[in-house]
């Protein structure tokens, strides 16, 4: 089997590349990544010499490059992680989200039709369902929940999902879509809540919580997301959407307090709220459990300890990031 993993130099794509190479010794994994600010070759260092792995630098919206890749490699499966992924950046600059997340997806699917693949998998997000109220813990997102987005990021992901479904219905492309809740774990870019708080606590910098910190996210250890996608691309039903989540709801304040307790230090500051800030995400993953037997295996208390240990043991990985262009981003976001 040949699998093209787009966005494999990013957080989840990088974890997925490692997961697949470890699990399938007879698969060839080809990573296509544009190496935007979020892509990091350090995430792939220890597999660059693996004979089953190939890295190609390129943009998924570059039609010529994508077609050449498909012509040369004739892949069986495409797993599309490549995207602009940070909500705050989408609020500052929506346009790049439309190009990378929507146009890029359509170019990839055109190549899938032209060269024939057995499966195109779109890695989507629970954010396409909008948010849930705090006072209705009984409500969860199911695959039937209407699309109702909040940010330019989630709107671009929802647009891509609709186009993926259109390519299935109109052209018969064998697609699947997964919509996952918030991931955490190794190789997570330190602009996102959990790695930002870990890195700041280690470096004795303030821990900036937006608004009141009551917003709730449903946290999933990244390896559990990888195992779910592995099941979907092999056994999932074509044309279907699968929700993925850990039943692991925490307020942002609870998450940050856990990090402070584990690291043994850290000072919270409350800062201006995110515009259009979604209140609560919570996933019902009954469908993937019933159809494919998937269940998460890492509890939050265990996963957060492993994650903190990874950041303590792998300082050069994140110090390279925070000492670069990230400083300008941080100053703009948190300087005030
Ligand atoms: P990330 O920002 O860490 O990584 C994205 C990767 O995609 C980077 O390596 C970047 O260089 C690459 N990329 C971006 N635009 C590209 C383009 N046009 N062509 C080629 N490569 C490009 O993102 P992540 O957190 O790993 O998220 C991966 C995917 O999973 C995204 O599609 C995101 O919407 C989805 N998702 C993320 C989460 C989460 O909690 N992080 C949860 C659910 C779904
Ligand atoms: O739900 C899945 C989504 O999870 C993915 O689709 C996105 O790609 C991913 O970035 C993530 O989106 P969130 O906006 O939920 O994640 P983020 O880590 O940016 O923020 C998590 C929560 O923490 C959110 O309520 C905002 C808050 N926050 C975030 C940062 C960066 C803070 O309070 N302070 C911060 O400094």
Ligand closest to Cα of 280 equals 2
| Atom 29 of ligand 1, nearest CA residue | 81
Q: Which 3 state secondary structure label does DSSP give 48?
A: coil
Q: Could you tell me if 276 and 326 are in contact, meaning their C-beta atoms sit under 8 angstroms apart?
A: no
Q: What is the pLDDT of residue 123?
A: 99
Ligand 1 pocket check for 123: Cβ under 6 Å: yes
User: Which residues sit opposite 54 in a β-bridge?
Assistant: 30
Alpha-carbon Rg for the chain in angstroms:
19
Spatial distance between the Cα atoms of 297 and 260, rounded to a whole number of angstroms: 24
The confidence band for 4, taking pLDDT boundaries of 50, 70 and 90, is: very high
> Is the C-beta atom of 173 inside 6 A of ligand 2?
no
Looking at residue 16, its pLDDT comes to 99
**Among residues 336, 217, 195, which one has the least CA distance to residue 277?**
217
Q: How confident is the model at residue 336 (pLDDT cuts 50, 70, 90)?
A: confident
> 194-248 pLDDT, tens per residue?
999 999 999 999 999 999 999 999 999 999 999 999 999 999 999 999 999 989 9
In terms of phi and psi (left: phi > 0; alpha: psi -120 to 50; beta: otherwise), the region of 258 is alpha
* CA pair distance 270, 275, nearest whole angstrom: 15
Regarding the beta carbon of 86 and ligand 2, being less than 6 Å apart is answered yes
Residue 155 CB less than 6 A away from ligand 1: no
Q: Whose CA is nearest to atom 3 of ligand 2?
A: 182
């Amino acid at each position: 089997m040949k699998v093209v993993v787009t966005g494999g130099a990013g957080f989840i794509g990088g974890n997925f590349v490692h997961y697949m190479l470890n699990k399938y010794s007879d698969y060839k994994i080809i990573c296509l990544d544009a190496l935007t600010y979020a892509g990091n070759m350090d995430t792939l260092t220890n597999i660059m010499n693996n004979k089953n792995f190939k890295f190609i630098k390129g943009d998924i919206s570059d039609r010529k490059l994508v077609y050449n890749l498909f012509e040369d490699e004739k892949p069986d499966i495409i797993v599309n992680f490549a995207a602009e992924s940070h909500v705050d950046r989408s609020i500052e600059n929506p346009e790049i989200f439309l190009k990378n997340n929507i146009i890029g997806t359509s170019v990839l699917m055109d190549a899938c039709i032209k060269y024939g693949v057995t499966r195109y998998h779109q890695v989507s997000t629970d954010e396409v369902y909008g948010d849930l109220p705090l006072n209705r813990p009984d409500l969860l997102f199911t695959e039937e929940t209407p699309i109702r987005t909040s940010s330019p990021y989630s709107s671009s992901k929802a647009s891509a999902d609709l186009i993926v479904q259109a390519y299935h219905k109109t052209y018969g492309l064998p697609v699947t879509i997964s919509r996952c809740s918030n991931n955490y774990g190794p190789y997570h870019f330190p602009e996102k809540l959990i790695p930002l708080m870990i890195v700041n606590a280690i470096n004795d910098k303030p821990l900036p919580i937006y608004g009141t910190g009551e917003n709730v996210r449903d946290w999933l250890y990244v390896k559990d997301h990888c195992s779910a996608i592995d099941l979907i691309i092999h056994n999932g039903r074509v044309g279907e959407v699968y929700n993925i989540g850990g039943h692991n709801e925490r307020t942002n304040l609870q998450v940050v307090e856990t990090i402070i307790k584990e690291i043994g230090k850290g000072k919270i500051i409350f800062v201006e709220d995110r515009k259009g800030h979604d209140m609560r995400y919570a996933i019902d993953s009954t469908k993937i459990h019933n159809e494919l037997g998937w269940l998460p295996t890492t509890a939050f208390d265990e996963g957060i300890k492993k994650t903190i240990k990874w950041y303590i043991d792998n300082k050069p990985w994140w110090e390279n990031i925070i000492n670069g262009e990230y400083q300008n981003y941080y100053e703009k976001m948190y300087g005030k």
